[in-house]
Amino acid sequence: MLKKLIVILMVIFHFKIFADLESENNNSEISADTLTSGVAMTGRLSNSEDWDYFKLNVNSTEDLNLRFESPNSSQNENQWLVGVQEPRNNYLIFQETLSPSEGSPVDKTIPVTDKGMFFIFVAPVLDSNSAPITEYKLTITPKNFQAASGAFNGLWQDDKSLSFYSLHESLEGLLYLELKKDGTTWKAYFGGRLGNTATLDQVIGPGTAKLELTFVSNEKVEARYKSCRTNLGEICDANGALLYTGSRLFPK
């Protein structure tokens, strides 16, 4: 059922996969892969001497939010050395050993005082005789960055395993479909997004509601009712309490 649903949604919405893959050899600043703000870059170290270099052009002096993930790692299983170099004097403004694991990404805020081309590297931990062979994901986002239209498009599922959610955003707005796994009534919401928060009105389905989606990352969203009434007119909202946390199933 899930595979069929994914295929149908791909045909309907022509999803663009918002993720990048590193290219080898990107082992120096000259051959660094280009990062896109707010878009995850997937990489893998091939050996203990492999350093992956990336570059990001920053046009403001807003702090950078760095997210480093390893969805297939167990807790404390793998470590990577991650560094960020500023453009003016080529100083390292951030360097730490990071150990993310499944469900536990590492988030860091990096103060920035200059604009220009920043270089970022992912490397084996110094003095280590081996390197993690597991894929990692690196995302860097300026503090007040507005994610591109369609950045969150895809198929989602809530943490209660009750529904699938199809999200499609274009210049006209954001459409969010709730598809119950048990085959009962489905709902549709439509509205707009400002920054990482979307405010949507229910346009199909029983009752009325105003739904707020907060995108914690490219792959996590929190849903809350701003207001809600059943088809009998009864109030069903929870004063902005968290309804569910959603995870993106496709594209990854």
Average pLDDT by stretches of 10, the chain with 252 residues: 47 48 80 88 91 91 90 86 89 94 89 91 88 91 80 94 95 94 92 92 94 88 92 79 92 77
| DSSP designation for 215 | E
Backbone phi, psi, residue 91, to 5°: -80, 150
| 224 and 242 Cβ atoms separated by less than 8 Å | yes
Q: For the chain, give every domain's residue range.
A: 2-15+148-250, 20-142
Tokens standing for 184?
A: 């009962």
The yes-or-no answer to whether 2-15+148-250 and 20-142 have a common fold is: no
Torsion of CA 200, 203, 206, 208, to 10 degrees: 50
Specify the pLDDT at position 8. 45
Tokens of 147: 């994610």
Strand pairing of 80-85 and 92-98?
Answer: antiparallel
**80, 77, 83: which is closest to 98 by C-alpha?**
80
- CATH topology for 2-15+148-250 is Lipocalin (2.40.128)
Task: Determine the pLDDT at residue 19.
Answer: 56
Q: What CATH class is the domain 20-142?
A: mainly beta
> 3-state DSSP helix/strand/coil percent for the chain, to nearest 5?
5, 50, 45
pLDDT value at residue 97: 95
